[in-house]
Structures are given as C-alpha cells and as structure tokens.
Amino acid sequence: MSFAVRALVFDVFGTLVDWRTSIAREVQLALEPRGLQVDGPAFADAWRDEYQPAMEEVRTGRRPFSTLDVLHRRNLDVVLHRFGLDAAVDEPLRVHLNRAWHRLDAWPDVTPALERLRGRFLVAPCSNGNISLMVDLARRNGWHWDAILGAEVARDYKPKPEVYLAAARAFDCAPHEVMMVAAHSSDLAAAAAAGLRTAFIARPDEHGPGRGEIQASVPVDLQAADLADLADRMGA
C-alpha cells in the first residue's frame, strides 16, 4: 500500500455479522414454542427497517442520545404491533427478543481474519451498536478488540463525522491513519469525507440471497471479497 494505516475500525451489522439470519432464527425460537407462527426473515427485515429512522431522530436532535438497545426496543414494540403480536408477547419475552441483537452470528470468514488483522493493526468496532452489545458479540464470536468504539463513545450515530473522528482520536491516530471497513457504500463515503481510509467488503447476501452490496458504489481505497481477502491484501 502507498499509505500508512495504523488502525482498522469495522462496521459490524452486515459487515461482520449476519444479522438477518440470526434475528430470524431468534424470533422463531422465541415465538414458536408459544404457538405463535411468524415469518422470521420478514420480521427481521421489518425490525431492521426501523433502524435508520430511529437513529435519525437522534442525529437531528429531535431525541437525546439513546443507546441502540433502547432504540431497538422501541422499534420492536412497533413491529410487534404491526405483526399483530402485541397481546401475545409479554414484557419478559420482549426483553429476551430485544437481546437477540446481542446473539448474532459472524459470517464464517470473520473470526480468523480478524485475528490475522489484529496481528498487524489496532482493531476496533466503529458501530452504531452500544458497548455492551459489542462486548456480547465479541464474546459470542471469539473476537479480540483493542478497544470498543463507535456511537456510544461519540454520543451520536453514523454517518455523522464525529463517530469516525472519535474513533481515530481514541487510538491517537490522524484520520488518514485509520481505515474504515464496511459492507455499505454510504458508511464508507461518510468515513472518507471525515478523512479516513476506506475498505469495502462484499456481503452479497446481507439482506437475503443476492440482496446485499457486491461492490462499492463510491470511491474506496480497497475492495475485498470478504475479510480474509482483506487480510491478504493488507499483508496480515
């Protein structure tokens, strides 16, 4: 590479974890024993569709900062109502369902590739997920971070510049010494605008088979087929 990168920071939902399959599984495991039939993937999609609108309330200042766990819970109540499940899902089950985001499974390439990358670079999530959520995902999937960064540290949500810049400051790095790694062109465009380097990871099945991004639609420093390919390209 013709540029010096000291740290890699990662988007998590979609880039490192298969949130759709995991949430669909968790919803069905929680509801079907109670005799509640639900289309797990459709429920996962509906829940995820509330993600950006909820964060936009914070980004625009209409709501004070709340962690993603809090936003996910508000969104869960909306989706349960939409699916006609209000009366059938009690408070303890709602709490359990909301914690499903803490039980997401990594894409198969992620855990070994992260370990390789950590041998050469500082590594951390730069996610909209809160710290406890990131800790639980790391413990579940065997990840070893050098720090946990992102929205809760910055007290705002991507793609606001402060989220990326706070991550760079936490590692005592200039923005150009940090590379944002993500499967979403919009995330990478925002990181680049804040001065970070960028790497795109293809996740063609994030939103279902063939319904994820396969290449960046914005200029990036690197494009990779998966995280193992990125580790190869970064000399890790």
Q: How many domains in the chain? A: 2
Please report, rounded to a whole number, the percentage of residues in the chain having pLDDT higher than 70. 99
Q: In angstroms, what CA-CA distances link 168 with 55, 157, 163, 173, 180?
A: 22, 15, 9, 5, 10
User: pLDDT class for 3, splitting at 50, 70, 90?
Assistant: low
**Could you tell me if residue 59 is inside a domain?**
yes
To the question of pTM greater than 0.85 for the whole model, the response is yes
**Could you tell me if residue 1 is inside a domain?**
no
What is the rounded average pLDDT for all residues in the chain?
97
Distance of CA 186 to the CA centre of its chain: 13
> Which residue has tokens 């062109």?
185
Strands (DSSP E) along 69-138, which ranges?
A: 122-127
Q: What is the pLDDT of residues 140-185, one digit of tens each?
A: 999 999 999 999 999 999 999 999 999 999 999 999 999 999 999 9
Q: What is the pLDDT of residues 86-131, one digit of tens each?
A: 999 999 999 999 999 999 999 999 999 999 999 999 999 999 999 9
Distance CA 169, CA 203 (A): 29
Q: Which amino acid is at 187?
A: D
Domain of residue 121, residue span = 7-18+105-233
> Which residue has tokens 């939103």?
207
Q: What is the pLDDT of residues 31-52, one digit of tens each?
A: 999 999 999 999 999 999 999 9
**Could you tell me if residue 205 is inside a domain?**
yes
Q: What is the mean pLDDT of residues 187-207?
A: 98
